[in-house]
Every structure is written in structure tokens, then in C-alpha cells.
Amino acid sequence: MLAKSPSRILLAAVSLLGSPSLSVSACIASKSKLPKYPPFSSSCFGLRSVVRVAETEMEADAAQEARNREAFRQAVVNTLERRLFYIPSFKIYRGVAGLYDYGPPGCAVKSNILAFWRQHFVLEENMLEVDCPCVTPEIVLKASGHVDKFTDLMVKDEKTGTCYRADHLLKDFCKEKLERDPAVSTEKAAEFRHVLAILDGLSPEELGAKIKGYGITAPDTKNPLSAPFPFNLMFQTSIGPSGVSPGYMRPETAQGIFVNFKDLYYYNGSKLPFAAAQIGQAFRNEISPRQGLLRVREFTLAEIEHFVDPEDKSHPKFSEVSDLEFLMFPREDQVSGQAARRICLGEAVSEGIVNNETLGYFIGRVFLFLTHLGIDKERLRFRQHLANEMAHYAADCWDAEIECSYGWIECVGIADRSAYDLWAHTDKSGVPLVAAVKFSEPREVEKLVIAPVKKELGLAFKGDQKRVVETLEAMGEKEAMEMKATLESKGEVEFHVCTLGKDVTIKKSMVTISKEKKKEHQRVFTPSVIEPSFGIGRIIYCLYEHSFYTRPSRGGDEQLNVFRFPPLVAPIKCTVFPLVQNQQYEEVAKRIAKSLTAAGISYKIDITGTSIGKRYARTDELGVPLAVTVDSTSSVTLRERDSKQQIRVNVEEVASVVKEVTDGLSTWADVLWKYPTHSFGTTED
């Protein structure tokens, strides 16, 4: 975790982007018997059972596994970069660390995922989607806590001024010692593991002491390092020409929703619950970005703020997800060293593992969303935040973590943030961000009334009067009733005025305290916020790893790359290949292409003379699910990517068959039943 104070930042934006590698829970979870990444080959990225073993054995396995993981990641990343799924931004100018472009297939995958997100969340729940600017004035981020607390600890090379993240240096040092230094004693190894486990909780002073104690120096120069100091991670700018209005590029999209609560509540007919949503860019000026696409300086967030009455967090549609069963990792299991386990969501809520139905509903919907995209459900877990990860005001918080070659990555945070955010903006702006529920009939309530007698107080305290009055009025019910009793029995009482930093004597004549009965027609309160927050780039990267596999070419002489994207995600739905270069086939191909455009299906046409096998391989590597090969003028061959099965379809019909499958109205199996299979002619090499 990056922010050290219990603020919103701990729960949402940072958590989405926080250090995805070793954390307490990750350490525990990685104690599996079978290596997570077997020697890299074509087909061995299957499931693994999780069994605990002795630590020494684990470390030997871990080193081998680390090499395999690295090889697998390289294979994926090479394919992604070669096929322009992404491009290091401003590459011709040698790039900028932590900035990446989505190239054509990556951009299509992203917009497919965002369209499905809109369908699955916004449309399904009738959410109010908004779109706010990235440029944000300081006052908003002051209220949210980002100006003061959205920081990482940094150390500087004392000679060159180069900056490093303090926790990264310490982490690297410990990992290096554990993985590569055979001379490390058992006690020392235990110490390094302990440091890794508590890393996120270290204060600046503790972190500095460890760095000094281990003699860690600047990695590039071996120069000594400064003591750790906080660096604010927001990109700062200035709004308008005068230079007097500081602004920041938003670190999350949520604040734009909170500041609009009043209008949105009214738009929703002044009724709770309702949810608002926003998709947009967020920014984070990383000290030294690493881990490729997982830790970047600009990224797309999709955030939901579900506003709910704190006294009723039930959800009318909870029953639709309560039977789901998947890997959950409750706080207690993490602390007691157990592994994540399959839990039925309904039971998790009824047993109080998950705080409330609404939080549970969103956990279930997130599970459906991610698995629908193609995330392997055996490598997806919902991990509850430990007590020290959570802000004091938060009711509960779960991260959807996806396992990839970097470890378990936080991709979605689902937090019950109670009333904190609305309260913080109410406090700072003076605009009440509250909701009201009318009682069916007026209720009689007892209300505490504190009436300072200003004349008496003025005589007694003169210039301090105002502060004494304010402090009296701010008393809670218990304190006030105690004062009343003391005043009645003793006639005066010692009273601490914190804004004066001293005690004063309050006499009976100076204040009247009473309880009055009043009729109330409604209950006015600050709504609770339940926030599912999606790091779209991280989801996409994990999906790439989960979708990637290799298989031997027909000749067996090379390994071919495939992305097994479901049609929903696939950047291009279909390719069109004339089998051989001739005008007749090319005209049929163009006719089919036109009908695909009319049906709104993205396609790629390849009229090069390359062998059909090579053309299939090229598009398998882009994850294109279906290929149309024009091998006659009346009917064509339709081939499915993963099974390589082929059927014959009439030219006129082919666009509608492709549409049926890619829209999810039919499966490939359905289509196989309806059309003759094709096993001759267009071989793969």
C-alpha cells in the first residue's frame, strides 16, 4: 500500500495501482506445492492445487518458477508488442516510462471491454453515467485527502539526484538476497521474509533505518541515498493564465461523482439507492514505473458509486448472484495462514464474512463480468482487506485479484466506504450532500438543546467567548447530560475548550441544557457509498496472459501463438481470405466484406498470396475467432480459431452466421450442427 494514512486513497485508487507483487497475503498464497509456472511450453498453463510445504523446498521451486514465469511473460509481451496490441508511447523519441499506447487490436479490445462494462453494469442497473474533466482544482483534492496523503516515499541518489521508490529498493534487496544469495543463513532468510511481509506498513523512519542498516545504495551509481521523504503522485498544473489556481490531473474518477451527488440524487427523483458511474482517464506520476503495463502513469478507470441508506444495505437482486461459488480469501484466513477457498456468496453474506448484501451483490457481478471476459476463474480470487489496510471509517473492502506472471494483481476494488466521501465534501464545500427518507407518519423524537447564554459568557470570557460557545454547542448527548447534572448539583463545572487549549469554569447561569420533544417528518442522513472501481488496463493485461497459448505448427517445426479471446473481446471478429489470388475470389471476398460492415462486424481482409496456413496463424495471434476462406464463388469455408474446425456456408449466409456467433446468439457448437463440416482443401500449411 502506498498511502500510509487511513484515507480514501488506501481503499480505492491506490489499491487499484498498489504494489501488485509480494504482500502478506501473496506470500501466504504462493506457498503452493506445484510450481505455478512450469517450464514454458505450449500447453501447460492449467490449474494447480494449493498445498502447503516446507519453506526451503518452496524457495528452490520458487527460483525455477520465477524463470519459467519470466519466459512465459516474455512470449506474451513480445506477441503483444509485435502485433501492436500496445506500443510504448512516443517510441520514436525513445519513449516515456509508464506511458503506453493501445495500438489497433489493443484499442479494439479496450473498447469492446468498456462497451460490455456499460452493458453489464450501467444498463443492467440503470446507473447514472457521468463524464467529468480530468483537470481538477486543488480544493476538491484537498477535501478528498489526495493533496495531503496521496504520496509515495522516495529516496534520492545524494550525488546525481536520481529518485527511487524507497520501498522498491528495500523489496528488491530482500528478494535478491532470498533468491540469489546461497550464503544467507536461515535466520537472515526469515528476517528478509518478515521485512517483505511488513513492508507496506513501515513508517518513513523505519524504512530509512532498514535501508541504512542493510547498506542499500543507489542501484545505478552505488552512491549513498537520502532519507525517505514523501512525494505527491499527482501531476500538478495551473488552471488559467494567472498562475494562482493550482490544479491536478485527477488520480481517480470518483471525486467527480461525489461532488455531483446533490444533482444526481435529485435527478433520481430524490430516491435511494442509486448508482452513478464514470469511465475515464486517471493519472499518477509514478516515481519509477516498472512492471510494464501494470504500473503506468496514465490509465483508464471505470468506477461505480452506489449510494445507499446506511440503515438498509440489502439488495433486491442479491438472490440473482447468491448461488455463485468462487475463490474468496477472507481476512481471518489470511491472518491464520490459510489459502483462498471456494465459498458460496450467499453464505459469505449470511455468515457475515462479507459485510452486507449490496457489497456482496457487486462482488458477484464483478465475478460474472471478469469471467465473461475470459478471466480464468481458478486464477481469480476476492481478497478481503486486512484491518490495517482499511480506513477507520470503511465498513468492508474486497479486491478482485487476478493471478498473472507478476503474482496476484489487484484489478478491481469493491469497498463499502460508509459516508466518508460525501461527508468530506459537505464539510469542505458547506453544501450538505445528504438524503432524506420521509416517515410514513411523523415521529416524536427527543432532541438535545444546548443554549449558551451569550451575555453571561461574554462577561466571563470576553474575546474567548466565541470559542467557548462553539465548544459548548459541539457537545455530544452524553457529555451534555453529564454537564447538566453537575451544574444542577454543584452550580459550576470545569470544561475543556480544545480550541483555547485550556479548561474554563462554566457556571449554571451560562448555559441551558435540555431535551425537547419534537415531531420529525423525515430522517436526513449522509448516504453510504459502495464503490466498485475497475483498473481497465490491468484487467486487459491479465486477460492477455490468461488468453495466450501456443501450439505446434502443422509441420511441428515451430510454436504458433494464439489468443483465445471470446468473440465479445476479440479485436477483430472475422477475417476474409481469398484462397488464391484471382479476381473472382477477390470479388466474392469484397462482397462478403461489405455485408460484414453492414452487419457492424469488424473484419480484416488479407488478399496477399501467402499460404492459407500462414494467414490463419497471423490472425490466431490477434485472437480473431472466425476466418472466412473464399475457395469457390458460391460457398465458403468458415474456420474456428481454437478447434480449427471448418464448415461450409453459402456466400449469402456467411455474414449472418458470423454475426450470430460473435454476438453470442449461437455458439460454434450450434453452428457445427447446422452446417456441413469441411475437412479437405484449405489445409493449415
User: Given the complex with a copy of itself, which of 238 and 582 has the nearer CB atom?
Assistant: 238
Q: Which amino acid is at 608?
A: T
Contact in structure between 18 and 291 (CB atoms under 8 Å): no
Read off the C-alpha cell for 146.
489526495
Cβ 17 to a copy of itself shortest distance, Å: 15
Cβ 429 to a copy of itself shortest distance, Å: 4
- Supply the angle between the helices 465-473 and 454-461 in degrees, to the nearest 10: 130
User: Given the complex with a copy of itself, which of 121 and 408 has the nearer CB atom?
Assistant: 121
User: Given the complex with a copy of itself, which of 82 and 443 has the nearer CB atom?
Assistant: 82
Length reported for the chain: 685
Report which secondary-structure segment, H or E, holds 307. strand 298-308
User: Given the complex with a copy of itself, which of 53 and 267 has the nearer CB atom?
Assistant: 267
Q: Determine the Cα–Cα distance for residues 640 and 642; give it in Å rounded to an integer.
A: 6
Q: What CA dihedral angle connects 72, 74, 76 and 77, to 10 degrees?
A: 160
**CA 266 centroid distance within chain:** 29
In the block, which residue shows the cell 454476438? 663
User: Given the complex with a copy of itself, which of 65 and 157 has the nearer CB atom?
Assistant: 157
Cβ 86 to a copy of itself shortest distance, Å: 9
User: Given the complex with a copy of itself, which of 339 and 661 has the nearer CB atom?
Assistant: 661
User: Given the complex with a copy of itself, which of 93 and 673 has the nearer CB atom?
Assistant: 93
User: Given the complex with a copy of itself, which of 117 and 461 has the nearer CB atom?
Assistant: 117
Cβ 134 to a copy of itself shortest distance, Å: 6
Read off the C-alpha cell for 670.
450450434
Cβ 550 to a copy of itself shortest distance, Å: 22
Cβ 204 to a copy of itself shortest distance, Å: 16
Cβ 669 to a copy of itself shortest distance, Å: 22
| Residue 417: exposure state from Cβ atoms within 10 A (0-12, 13-18, ≥19) | buried
Cβ 682 to a copy of itself shortest distance, Å: 21
Cβ 135 to a copy of itself shortest distance, Å: 5
Longest dimension (CA), the chain: 108
3-state SS, residue 115: helix
Q: Determine the Cα–Cα distance for residues 293 and 156; give it in Å rounded to an integer.
A: 25
User: Given the complex with a copy of itself, which of 365 and 381 has the nearer CB atom?
Assistant: 365
Cβ 403 to a copy of itself shortest distance, Å: 26
Residue 6's nearest CA partner among 486, 371, 418, 609 is 418
Q: Determine the Cα–Cα distance for residues 429 and 80; give it in Å rounded to an integer.
A: 46
HSE-up (13 A, CA, CB side) for residue 685: 8
User: Given the complex with a copy of itself, which of 110 and 313 has the nearer CB atom?
Assistant: 110
Residue 461's nearest CA partner among 501, 491, 506 is 506
Cβ 108 to a copy of itself shortest distance, Å: 7
Residue 196's nearest CA partner among 220, 182, 179 is 179
Cβ 423 to a copy of itself shortest distance, Å: 13
User: Given the complex with a copy of itself, which of 278 and 358 has the nearer CB atom?
Assistant: 278
In the block, which residue shows the cell 427523483? 269
Q: Where are the alpha helices (DSSP H) in 253-393?
A: 254-258, 261-267, 331-335, 345-350, 357-373
Beta bridge partners of 303: 278, 533
Pairing of strands 407-416, 528-535: antiparallel
Cβ 92 to a copy of itself shortest distance, Å: 4
Cβ 518 to a copy of itself shortest distance, Å: 29
Phi first, then psi: give them for residue 15, nearest 5 degrees.
-60, -35
Read off the C-alpha cell for 490.
454543584
Cβ 425 to a copy of itself shortest distance, Å: 7
User: Given the complex with a copy of itself, which of 126 and 634 has the nearer CB atom?
Assistant: 126
User: Given the complex with a copy of itself, which of 229 and 439 has the nearer CB atom?
Assistant: 229
Q: What CA dihedral angle connects 168, 170, 172 and 174, to 10 degrees?
A: -150
Contact in structure between 370 and 547 (CB atoms under 8 Å): no
In the block, which residue shows the cell 453529564? 482
User: Given the complex with a copy of itself, which of 511 and 630 has the nearer CB atom?
Assistant: 630
Contact in structure between 565 and 109 (CB atoms under 8 Å): yes
Read off the C-alpha cell for 517.
420533544
- Supply the angle between the helices 55-82 and 166-180 in degrees, to the nearest 10: 120
Q: What CA dihedral angle connects 87, 605, 550 and 98, to 10 degrees?
A: 10
User: Given the complex with a copy of itself, which of 337 and 600 has the nearer CB atom?
Assistant: 600
- Spatial neighbors of 202 by CB under 8 A, at least 6 apart, are 167, 210
User: Given the complex with a copy of itself, which of 240 and 476 has the nearer CB atom?
Assistant: 240
Residue 544's nearest CA partner among 46, 78, 100, 111 is 78
Sign (positive or negative) of CA dihedral 496, 497, 502, 506? negative
User: Given the complex with a copy of itself, which of 221 and 236 has the nearer CB atom?
Assistant: 236
3-state SS, residue 246: strand
Contact in structure between 555 and 384 (CB atoms under 8 Å): no
Cβ 115 to a copy of itself shortest distance, Å: 8
Could you say which DSSP state residue 157 is in? B
Q: Determine the Cα–Cα distance for residues 65 and 406; give it in Å rounded to an integer.
A: 12
Cβ 335 to a copy of itself shortest distance, Å: 35
